[in-house]
Structure 1
Amino acid sequence: MGPSRGRRGTFSWKKYAIGAAAVIGLIFVFGPRQTPKYLSSDGMQDAVDAITDDPLYTSPDDEPFVHNPIIEEEEAPPTTDEKQPLKPGEHPTSFESDPDPLHTTYCTTTTADRIVQYALMIDAGSTGSRIHVYKFNNCNPSSGPSFEYEVFKMIQPGLSSFAGKPEDAAKSLDVLMDEALRVVPESLRKCTPVAVKATAGLRLLPGSQSADILDAVRHRLDTVYPFPIHGEDGIVIMDGKDEGVYAWITANYLLSTIRPDTPKGTPSYAVLDLGGASTQIVFEPMFPNNDELADGDHKYELKFAGRDHVLYQHSYLGYGLMRARRHVHQLVEFMDSLRGKNGGTTFVENDRRVFNPCLAQGTQRVVEVEDERNGISRSVTMDGEGIGSFQACSRTMQLVMAKDAICELKPCSFNGVYQPSLLDAFSSGKVLLLSYFYDRVQPLLPENPPKINVASIKELATTVCMGRPAWLDRWGAQPDLMKELEERPEWCLDLTFMHSLLTLGYEFTEDREVQLGKQIEGTELGWCLGAALGVVSGAELTCKA
Structure 2
Amino acid sequence: MDLESTKMLKHSGRHSPPPESFADKIYQFRGAFLMVALPLLLVTLILYVRPSASSNESIEDYALTHRKISPDRIPSESFAVIFDAGSSGSRVHVFRFDRNLDLVHIGKDLEVFLQLKPGLSAYAQYPQQAAESLISLLDKAESVVPLEFRSMTPVRVGATAGLRALEGDASDKILQAVRDLLKQRSTLKSEPNAVAVLDGNQEGAFQWVTINYLLGKLGRDYSDTVGVVDLGGGSVQMAYAISETSAAKAPKKVPDGEDPYVKEMFLRGRKYYLYVHSYLRYGLLAARAESLKQSDDSGNPCILAGYDGSYKYGGKSFNASSSPSGSSLNECKSIARKALKVDESPCTHMKCTFGGIWNGGGGDGQKNLFVASFFFDRAAEAGFADPKSPVAKVRPVDFEDAAKKACQTKLEDAKSTYPHVEDGNLPYLCMDLVYQYTLLVVGFGLDPFQQITLVKQVKYHDSLVEAAWPLGSAIEAVSSIR
**Same structural fold, with TM-score higher than 0.5 when normalized by the shorter chain:** yes
SS in 2 for 1:366: strand
* Residue type of the alignment partner of 1:267: D
Q: 1:507 to 1:210 in 2, by over 3 A?
A: same
Partners in 2 of 1:252 and 1:201 — Cα distance? Answer: 26
Partners in 1 of 2:356 and 2:418 — Cα distance? Answer: 43
1:438 aligns with 2:398: no
Q: 1:369 to 1:187 in 2, by over 3 A?
A: closer
Q: 1:418 to 1:189 in 2, by over 3 A?
A: same
Of 457-466 and 491-500, the range deviating more from structure 2:
457-466
Which residue of the partner structure matches residue 205 of structure 2?
Answer: 245
More helix by share: 2
Q: Normalization by structure 2: what TM-score?
A: 0.74
**Corresponding residue to 2:193 among 229, 233, 236:** 233
1:411 aligns with 2:374: no
Which residue of the partner structure matches residue 242 of structure 2?
Answer: 285
Which residue of the partner structure matches residue 269 of structure 1?
Answer: 226
Unaligned runs of 5+ in 1: 1-109, 337-344, 346-353, 371-375
* Offset, 1:332: 2.1
SS in 1 for 2:228: strand
* Offset, 1:113: 2.3
Q: Percent identity?
A: 30
SS in 1 for 2:87: coil
**Corresponding residue to 2:263 among 287, 300, 304:** 300
* Residue type of the alignment partner of 1:312: Y
1:183 aligns with 2:144: yes
Q: 1:124 to 1:504 in 2, by over 3 A?
A: same
Partners in 1 of 2:96 and 2:309 — Cα distance? Answer: 45
Which residue of the partner structure matches residue 192 of structure 1?
Answer: 153
Contact 1:271 1:433 survives alignment (8 Å): yes
Which residue of the partner structure matches residue 363 of structure 1?
Answer: 306
**Corresponding residue to 2:419 among 480, 488, 512:** 480
Partners in 1 of 2:366 and 2:123 — Cα distance? Answer: 44
SS in 1 for 2:475: helix
Which residue of the partner structure matches residue 126 of structure 2?
Answer: 165
* Offset, 1:169: 1.9
Query: CA-to-partner distance for each residue in 1:25-61, whole Å, 9 max, x for gaps?
Result: xxxxxxxxxxxxxxxxxxxxxxxxxxxxxxxxxxxxx
Partners in 2 of 1:223 and 1:518 — Cα distance? Answer: 34
Partners in 1 of 2:366 and 2:276 — Cα distance? Answer: 18
Partners in 1 of 2:222 and 2:121 — Cα distance? Answer: 42
Q: 1:154 to 1:368 in 2, by over 3 A?
A: closer
SS in 2 for 1:489: helix
Which residue of the partner structure matches residue 31 of structure 2?
Answer: none
Poorly superposed stretches of 4+, deviation over 6 Å: 287-291, 376-379, 469-472
Query: CA-to-partner distance for each residue in 1:139-165, whole Å, 9 max, x for gaps?
Result: x4xxxx112211011122211222232
* Offset, 1:420: 3.2
Unaligned runs of 5+ in 2: 1-70, 105-109, 255-259
Partners in 2 of 1:266 and 1:180 — Cα distance? Answer: 37
* Offset, 1:392: 1.9
Partners in 2 of 1:290 and 1:244 — Cα distance? Answer: 17
Instruction: Trace 1:140-539 onto structure 2 (pairs within 5 A).
Output: 140=100, 145-148=101-104, 149-229=110-190, 231-258=191-218, 262-264=219-221, 267-286=224-243, 292-295=249-252, 297-333=260-296, 336=297, 345=298, 354=299, 356-360=300-304, 362-367=305-310, 380=319, 382-404=321-343, 405-422=345-362, 425-426=363-364, 429-443=367-381, 444-445=383-384, 447=386, 451-468=393-410, 480-481=419-420, 484=422, 488-521=426-459, 522-538=464-480
Q: Normalization by structure 1: what TM-score?
A: 0.66
Contact 1:277 1:323 survives alignment (8 Å): yes
- Greater Rg by CA: 2
Q: 1:488 to 1:219 in 2, by over 3 A?
A: same
SS in 2 for 1:147: coil
Partners in 1 of 2:364 and 2:413 — Cα distance? Answer: 36
State the superposition RMSD in angstroms: 2.9
* Offset, 1:432: 0.8
* Residue type of the alignment partner of 2:184: T
Q: 1:428 to 1:171 in 2, by over 3 A?
A: closer
Q: 1:228 to 1:197 in 2, by over 3 A?
A: same
Indicate the structure whose relative CO is greater, using CA pairs within 8 Å and at least 6 residues apart.
1
